[in-house]
């Protein structure tokens, strides 16, 4: 993790040596997309080079599930076979999109890396999408190939998109691994700012937006984790300059189509030599803890919903979790009360719990709050991580003083290239000098970030973003609905749940059950409202005709 409290002299000295001239993580100013910003000097220049180097780790565990193990060497062989098959059998070339539509599996990771060595763009489709959402993403990114698990392949079959090649993880990929066994790993010519991956984030305009991350973005994220590991080594008497493979074992419980699991777990661990323990299936605390025990998990980054379910489990002393040494909350806000309960009741959280703030558009964390931060400044999200410039600005773009609330804006080599095929949305989000307007509001306190408000109207349900406009537009398609408004309401487990106020002519004809059935094949399940209020009264609106959400209740 990045130290964000006043460090002891030893740690300050180590940081200075690591990032100063000649240091392992030497920082310098370079041109990035026409803007001068701080970057690491000694960095990899393509993801393919990272993959090629990882093969030397041989028989070490890389991807582990309850029923399978894949070593670094086996992973490299599988990537080479799939990459050559995509190139030679299916015509995938540099810049082509390859979509991945699946639950978390080792094959998901293999597919990502096969794209990288070809210079193709991996597109992470949300595995929870309804058919219409999948159809939109197919039209939006026009992938040449979709790699899917059997369950999602059925959706693709039903959509029957002309000319679309679908490869299933259960049947097609094993055959490809056999047919192309021993293939030589391709290495396409790559520029650092070539696109590497597209991950979707819910859009305020009612459609998901595809955040395009470059090789530079993802490589910078890898180096951020290398740097964090080096700092962590200082606290346990290790050598921060060591490049020996890590013995840490990381539990993956978030989906790979999010940056939490892809950019900040699976990808950097390939570079550091750690093992990724993939939890599969619906979240069950007992099953998860048994997997943590069996695989001697050392690190876990959980969404707050999972943390609250862990608390609800009660006494967990029957599980041997003695290997756990790092515990993080990520993907959604967590309050000081939850953090205090975790430190009090969960043994491995007492001295290791950290919190962070980030966005899909930023590839990784914007800031990290260490255990001392959270203890001394409840509610803080810590100081910006290495390489991140952060400012709080007013509506005119003027930088505000500490303690004054405004929009959080950041610039770094982690910030995405653009939104895919959305120039207007890109221009609204990224200034000409590459500052990202996060849409989040907060303030700075002694260099630490504190959020005071979320993106306008955003609902955060169990770590998933839900934008009301998308849900409203879909509900409005029902013939019995006159108008509607979607809001978030507090939920003890999920943080928030989706609620809807629906204006109808006849409340007896248009019911919650009717709308839930209507939405089931149009929206991912987590976007479908679970609380409803039906009325014949018009929604409250302001002078410009906008719905006044603060006057709504369920």
Q: Give which of 278, 276, 274 is closest to 287, Cα–Cα.
A: 278
| Residue 1 within a domain | no
CA 221 to chain centre: 12
Q: State phi, psi for 132 to the nearest 5 degrees.
A: -65, -30
CA-CA distance, 407 to 421, in Å (whole number)? Answer: 25
The secondary structure of residue 21, as a DSSP letter, is T
Q: What is the pLDDT of residue 205?
A: 54
| Residue 206 within a domain | yes
pLDDT in tens, the chain (554 residues): 444 444 556 667 888 899 999 999 999 999 999 999 999 999 999 999 999 999 999 999 999 999 999 999 999 999 999 999 999 999 999 999 999 999 999 999 999 999 999 999 999 999 999 999 999 999 999 999 999 999 999 999 999 899 999 999 999 999 999 999 999 999 999 999 999 999 998 655 568 899 999 999 999 999 999 999 998 898 788 999 999 999 999 999 999 999 999 999 999 999 999 999 999 999 999 999 999 999 999 999 998 888 888 988 888 999 999 999 999 988 776 677 788 889 988 988 988 899 999 999 999 999 999 888 888 898 899 999 999 999 999 999 999 999 998 999 999 999 999 999 999 999 999 999 999 999 988 999 999 999 877 666 789 899 888 878 789 889 988 999 988 999 999 998 898 999 999 999 888 889 999 999 999 989 999 999 999 999 999 888 765 566 788 788 88
User: CA torsion angle for 159, 164, 165, 170 (degrees, to 10)?
Assistant: -20
CA-CA distance, 199 to 257, in Å (whole number)? Answer: 6
Q: How many CA atoms lie within 13 A of 369 on its CB side?
A: 28
CA-CA distance, 131 to 16, in Å (whole number)? Answer: 52
**Taking the model in full, what pTM does it have?**
0.89
Q: Give 174's contacts (C-beta < 8 A, 6+ positions apart).
A: none
Residue 334, SS3?
coil
421 and 487 together in one domain: no
CA 506 to chain centre: 42
| Residue 451 within a domain | no
Q: What is the pLDDT of residue 221?
A: 98
Specify the pairing of strand 121-124 against strand 145-148.
Answer: unpaired
Q: What is the pLDDT of residue 292?
A: 98
432 and 518 together in one domain: no
Q: Retrieve residue 399's tokens.
A: 């930088």
| Residue 449 within a domain | no
538 and 494 together in one domain: yes
CA-CA distance, 330 to 102, in Å (whole number)? Answer: 22
| Residue 276 within a domain | yes
| Residue 400 within a domain | yes
> Which H or E element spans position 411?
strand 406-411
CA 364 to chain centre: 8
Q: Give which of 124, 107, 113, 106 is closest to 173, Cα–Cα.
A: 107
397 and 477 together in one domain: no
Task: Name the domain boundary from 408, 442, 476.
Answer: 442
Q: What is the pLDDT of residue 5?
A: 47
The secondary structure of residue 430, as a DSSP letter, is B
Q: Give which of 374, 365, 123, 414 is closest to 265, Cα–Cα.
A: 365
CA-CA distance, 178 to 411, in Å (whole number)? Answer: 45
> Which H or E element spans position 289?
helix 285-294
CA-CA distance, 326 to 305, in Å (whole number)? Answer: 18
CA-CA distance, 297 to 248, in Å (whole number)? Answer: 7
Q: What is the pLDDT of residue 112?
A: 98
430 and 485 together in one domain: no
> Which H or E element spans position 358?
strand 353-358
Q: Which single residue is written with the structure tokens 């259960």?
A: 170
CA-CA distance, 103 to 253, in Å (whole number)? Answer: 11
Total residue count of the chain as it appears in this document = 554
The secondary structure of residue 99, as a DSSP letter, is E
194 and 323 together in one domain: yes
First CA to last CA distance, the chain: 41
| Residue 452 within a domain | no
Residue 87 class from Cβ within 10 Å (0-12 exposed, 13-18 middle, 19+ buried)? Answer: buried
Number of domains in the chain: 2
Task: Name the domain boundary from 394, 415, 442.
Answer: 442
Task: Name the domain boundary from 398, 414, 442.
Answer: 442
367 and 495 together in one domain: no
368 and 426 together in one domain: yes
CATH of the domain at 481: 3.30.300.30
Q: Give 282's contacts (C-beta < 8 A, 6+ positions apart).
A: none
385 and 485 together in one domain: no
466 and 338 together in one domain: no
Q: Retrieve residue 421's tokens.
A: 């095929």
| Residue 4 within a domain | no
Q: What is the pLDDT of residue 330?
A: 81
CA-CA distance, 144 to 147, in Å (whole number)? Answer: 10
495 and 398 together in one domain: no
Domain that holds residue 469: 459-551
Q: Give 241's contacts (C-beta < 8 A, 6+ positions apart).
A: 18, 24, 230
Q: Give 41's contacts (C-beta < 8 A, 6+ positions apart).
A: 26, 27, 28
CATH of the domain at 23: 3.40.50.12780
Q: State phi, psi for 309 to the nearest 5 degrees.
A: -70, -35
CA-CA distance, 307 to 288, in Å (whole number)? Answer: 12
246 and 304 together in one domain: yes
CA-CA distance, 361 to 544, in Å (whole number)? Answer: 31
């Amino acid at each position: 993790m990045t130290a964000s409290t006043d460090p002891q002299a030893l740690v300050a000295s180590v940081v200075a040596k690591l990032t100063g001239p000649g240091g392992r993580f030497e920082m310098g100013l370079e041109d990035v997309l026409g803007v001068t910003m701080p970057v690491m000097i000694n960095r990899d220049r393509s993801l393919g080079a990272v993959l090629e180097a990882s093969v030397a780790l041989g028989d070490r565990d890389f991807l582990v599930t309850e029923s399978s193990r894949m070593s670094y060497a086996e992973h490299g062989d599988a990537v080479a076979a799939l990459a050559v098959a995509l190139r030679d059998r299916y015509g995938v070339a540099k810049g082509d999109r390859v979509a991945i539509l699946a639950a978390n599996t080792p094959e998901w990771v293999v597919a990502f890396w096969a794209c990288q060595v070809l210079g193709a763009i991996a597109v992470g489709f949300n595995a929870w999408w309804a058919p219409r959402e999948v159809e939109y993403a197919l039209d939006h990114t026009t992938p040449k190939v979709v790699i899917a698990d059997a369950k999602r392949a059925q959706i693709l079959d039903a959509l029957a998109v002309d000319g679309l090649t679908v490869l299933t993880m259960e049947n097609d990929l094993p055959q490809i691994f056999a047919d192309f066994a021993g293939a030589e790993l391709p290495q396409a010519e790559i520029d650092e700012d070539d696109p590497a991956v597209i991950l979707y984030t819910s859009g305020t305009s009612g459609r998901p937006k595809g955040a395009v991350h470059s090789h530079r973005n993802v490589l910078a994220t890898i180096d951020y984790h290398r740097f964090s590991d080096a700092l962590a080594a200082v606290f346990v008497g290790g050598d921060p300059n060591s490049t020996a493979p890590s013995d840490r074992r990381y539990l993956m419980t978030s989906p790979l189509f999010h940056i939490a699991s892809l950019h900040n777990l699976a990808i950097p661990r390939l570079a550091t030599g750690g093992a990724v323990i993939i939890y599969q299936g619906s979240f069950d605390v007992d099953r998860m803890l048994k997997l943590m025990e069996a695989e001697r998990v050392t690190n876990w980054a959980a969404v707050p919903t999972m943390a609250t379910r862990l608390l609800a489990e009660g006494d967990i002393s029957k599980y041997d979790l003695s290997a756990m040494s790092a515990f993080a909350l990520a993907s959604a806000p967590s309050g000081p009360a939850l953090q205090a309960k975790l430190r009090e009741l969960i043994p491995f959280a007492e001295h290791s719990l950290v919190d962070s703030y980030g966005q899909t558009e930023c590839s990784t964390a914007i800031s990290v709050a260490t255990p001392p931060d959270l203890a001394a400044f409840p509610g803080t999200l810590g100081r910006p991580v290495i390489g991140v410039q952060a400012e709080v600005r007013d509506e005119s773009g003027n930088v505000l003083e500490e303690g004054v609330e405004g929009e959080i804006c950041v610039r770094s080599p982690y910030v995405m290239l653009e939104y895919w095929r959305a120039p207007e949305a890109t221009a609204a989000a990224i200034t000409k000098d590459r500052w990202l307007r996060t849409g989040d509001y907060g303030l700075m306190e002694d260099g630490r970030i504190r959020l005071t408000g979320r993106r306008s109207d955003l609902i955060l349900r169990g770590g998933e973003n839900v934008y009301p406009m998308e849900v409203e537009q879909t509900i409005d398609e029902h013939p019995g609905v006159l108008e509607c408004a979607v809001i978030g309401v507090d939920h003890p487990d999920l943080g928030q749940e989706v609620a809807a106020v629906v204006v109808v002519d006849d409340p007896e004809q248009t019911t919650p059950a009717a709308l839930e059935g209507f939405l089931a094949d149009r929206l991912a399940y987590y976007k479908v409202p679970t609380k409803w209020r039906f009325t014949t009264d018009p929604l409250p609106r302001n002078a410009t005709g906008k719905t006044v959400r603060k006057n709504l209740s369920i």
